Amino acid sequence: MEVLSLSLPPQLAEYLGVLGLLLLWKARGQTPKKSQRARTAKPSASVPRSRAPRHPVVLPAELSWDHEVSTGVTKNLSAQGCRVKTDLAPPVGTYVSVILSLQGDERIAIELAVVRWVLGEDLGLEFLSVGGIARQRLQQVLSRETHAMRPVR
């Protein structure tokens, strides 16, 4: 049996892997739960701690999933995720895309994130797929925040 070998950039391979898992999930006939208003969302049993240090960054955020769109603001941000206060919270486990608005027209587009927890109007997102340019912009924002928080000597 002959095996075909493809060489893909790591980010593309990761993205295609996540996309393939989503397609399999949909093919099994599972559908996400209906959206709930954030104020009526039930908190998960516990709010997990993030693995990366979060920085108190407030940015306008837009979340979209299925046929829903929600707006809000970040409360904190890391390279791996963020906490968002939003008007409409998707249920835990929902896959979303996120657009973070910076100064002017600049934006950071997070291709794929998952809702890890919901507590009232707040929710925790884990970033699963972030493109190269978006990752660089995210690192720049975090770098600015890290330098801004250091004491001046």
First to last CA, the chain: 67
Do the bridges between strand 81-86 and strand 122-130 make them parallel or antiparallel, or are there none, so unpaired? antiparallel
Q: Could you report the per-residue pLDDT of 103-137, keeping only the tens digit for each? A: 888 999 999 999 999 999 999 999 999 988 999 99
Domains in the chain, CATH or no CATH each: 34-44+51-149 (2.40.10.220)
* pTM exceeds 0.85: no
Higher-confidence position of 106 and 43 = 106
- Report the chain's C-alpha Rg in angstroms: 17
